[in-house]
Amino acid sequence: MIDVVALGELLIDFTQIRSNDDSVRRFEQNPGGAPANVLAVLSKFGVKCAFIGKVGNDVFGEFLRKQLLDLSIDCRNLVSDPNHNTTLAFVTLDDKGDRSFSFYRNHGADTCLSEEEINLELIKNSKVFHFGTLSMTHEPSLSATLKAVEYAKSCGKVISFDPNYRALLWDNVDNAISAMKSGLEYANIAKLSLEEAQMVTGKTLPEDCLRELLKYDLGIVAITMGPQGCVYATDKYMGSFPEYPANVVDTTGAGDTFWGTLIFGFLNNGADFDGISEERLSEIVLMANIAAAMSTEKKGAIPSIPDFARVRAAFEEINGK
Ligand code: ATP
């Protein structure tokens, strides 16, 4: 039995290495792609996970497969495409560790996943189906994503959604907003950045965004706000946390660590937030907030995922337990 299945992009993040030499830029090769990052967090915390996606039949695809397998993520439905290259993203960092992206994704293998390639049995035998919008930018992966999420919904799975908007990968912003809204229509639990929440709701303040987002049928919605921490809401409670202090090196994947940790708490709560107490809910979000902050202290999305014991210790210190 698999607990969480995620579908989406799997790519290489070439992350800039800081250097005093302006004449040469160095990048290191890290696995990337938000849905896979979320699974990496869950798998590291002991949850059984499977990934659905496509990479090129090239050295980068091989590297990505090995990274997921090393994390004990089921890769039976990770397809290797002989005709298309693995997508590459170059991540440059400013002085604060904030990122800029350059994507090399023209006919990238991740966008070439087709409906026929989806292993529906894998979804049927799971509890949570997680996806985002980057598999919805192009066909055939758009149709593949919709088929998978519709199937998951029809089987009564919990649908988890993080849009992970990247302006450069969309032809126009209206298509991106439509994809985000359609993802939210399917979702039971969702995480958005403040920018995404503002785009979808047309509101400015985080609390107003939350109220609008709750009009979708969401058991929980969280909005992450980078160095400003997060806000969250269910139909009964609304709360927020300021950022947990961190020596920030690279924020890549912080949102994925946040969401992976929150799904971990959700699963430990019986995969249901109905009837959860306000205190228990805030504990789960606080853990996610701490784990996300800790993940900014190292480069790369997956290498920076903190050990659960460290997250737990920081949580207990705050809670005085
Ligand atoms: P990604 O696309 O990389 O997954 P995101 O935009 O979804 O990122 P952010 O809002 O940048 O996610 O960050 C997610 C969480 O990480 C925040 O809610 C916060 O808990 C933590 N975080 C991010 N930046 C910082 C920071 N500078 N200091 C402390 N915590 C941070």
> By alpha-carbon position, which residue is closest to atom 8 of ligand 1?
255
**Atom 5 (ligand 1): residue with closest C-alpha?**
255
Structure token digits, residue 249: 């090196």
Task: For residue 226, report the distance from its CA to the centre of ligand 1, in Å.
Answer: 4
The one-letter code for the residue type at 45 is: F
pTM for the whole structure: 0.95
User: Tokens 């790519």 appear where?
Assistant: 11
Residue 246: CB atoms within 10 Å: 17
Closest Cα to residue 134, out of 35, 54, 49?
35
Q: Quick one: which of 50, 57, 44 has its CA closest to 6?
A: 50
Residue type, 73: I
Task: Report d(CA 249, CA 233) in Å as an integer.
Answer: 29
The atom number, within ligand 1, closest to the CA of 225 reads: 10
| Alpha carbons 89 and 87: distance in angstroms, whole number | 7
pLDDT in tens, the chain (321 residues): 899 999 999 999 998 887 777 788 899 999 999 999 999 999 999 999 999 999 999 999 999 999 999 999 999 999 999 999 999 999 887 777 677 889 999 999 999 999 999 999 999 999 999 999 999 999 999 999 999 999 999 999 999 999 999 999 999 999 999 999 999 999 999 999 999 999 999 999 999 999 999 999 999 999 999 999 999 999 999 999 999 999 998 888 999 999 999 999 999 999 988 889 999 999 999 999 999 999 999 988 898 999 999 999 999 999 876
Residue nearest to atom 4 of ligand 1 (CA): 255
Q: pLDDT tens digits for 155-180? A: 999 999 999 999 999 999 999 999 99
Q: Return the CATH class of domain 188-320.
A: alpha beta
Rounded to the nearest angstrom, the distance between the alpha carbon of 175 and the centre of ligand 1 is 25
**Residue 141 contacts by C-beta under 8 Å, 6 or more apart in sequence?**
54, 110, 111, 112, 113, 114, 135
Q: Enumerate residues lining ligand 1, CB below 6 A.
A: 34, 164, 193, 224-227, 229-230, 243-244, 246, 248, 251-256, 258, 289, 292-293, 296
Q: Which CATH architecture has domain 1-113+121-129+153-164?
A: 3-Layer(aba) Sandwich (3.40)
Q: How far is the CA of 58 from the centre of ligand 1 (A)?
A: 32
Q: What is the pLDDT of residue 294?
A: 98
Residues of the chain with CATH 3.40.1190.20: 1-113+121-129+153-164, 188-320
pLDDT tens digits, 87-145 = 999 988 777 767 788 999 999 999 999 999 999 999 999 999 999 999 999 999 999 99
Cα separation, 210 vs 194, whole angstroms: 10
- CA distance readout (Å), 240 to 207, 210, 234: 9, 11, 12
